[in-house]
Structure 1
C-alpha cells in the first residue's frame, strides 16, 4: 500500500469538503482519501497523469474526478480551511528563490553599444 502523506489530523480537516460523501445525491467515489493521496502524489512528483501508479486506480478515472472537483471548487474550500490554521513554518521568500528577468530590472531598453 502507498505511504500516506496526509496525517489523520489533516484528513479530519479536509474530509468534510470532499465531494461524493454518502449523504450526497448520486454516485459516490470509492475512497476519497486515496484520491487525495493520488492528487498529492502528482503534485509532489510533478509527473504526468498517465504516470500515476496503478495502486491509486486508473489514471484517467482519477484525472476525471480531479477535474470535477476543480470545477466544483472543492480544492479551494480545502485550501481555505487549511490556510486558516497555517503555522507558516516554511514560508520564506528571498532573492535566491524569486528571479527577475533582465527586462524587469528597470534598465532602460534597447540595444546600445557601450564602451
Structure 2
C-alpha cells in the first residue's frame, strides 16, 4: 500500500457500493487498485500514461 492509497478501513466502507468484479462490463481485476490509481492521479496531476506500473495498464 502506497502513501495516499485507501486504508483497509476506508476500503471496507467503500467496497459494498461497487459492482461485483467479473460481471458484464467489469474489466478490472480489482476495484481497489483502480481507485488507488485514480486517487494517485488526482493527487499528483500526472497524465494517465505516466501512472506507476503498480496501478496496472493505463488503458
Deviating above 6 A after TM superposition, structure 1's stretches of 4 or more consecutive aligned residues are none
**Would you say how many aligned residue pairs link Structure 1 and Structure 2?**
57
In structure 1, the gaps of 5 or more residues are: 61-115
TM-score (norm 2): 0.76
Q: Which has the higher contact order (CA 8 A, sep 6+)?
A: 2
TM-score (norm 1): 0.43
The superposition leaves residues 59-84 of structure 1 with CA deviations (integer Å, 9 ceiling, x where unpaired) of: 11xxxxxxxxxxxxxxxxxxxxxxxx
Inter-partner Cα distance in structure 1 for 2:43 and 2:25: 29
Are the structure 2 counterparts of residues 50 and 11 from structure 1 closer, same or farther at C-alpha, using a change threshold of 3 Å?
Answer: same
Quote the offset at 1:33 in angstroms.
Answer: 0.7
Aligned residues: CA RMSD = 2.0
Residue 18 in structure 1 maps to residue 18 in structure 2:
yes
In structure 2, the gaps of 5 or more residues are: none
Are the structure 2 counterparts of residues 58 and 25 from structure 1 closer, same or farther at C-alpha, using a change threshold of 3 Å?
Answer: closer
Greater C-alpha radius of gyration:
1
Please name the residue that 1:54 is paired with.
53
Q: SS in structure 1 opposite 2:42?
A: helix
Q: SS in structure 2 opposite 1:59?
A: coil
Alignment of 1:1-115 (within 5 A): 2-3=1-2, 5-19=5-19, 21-22=20-21, 25-26=23-24, 28=26, 29-60=28-59
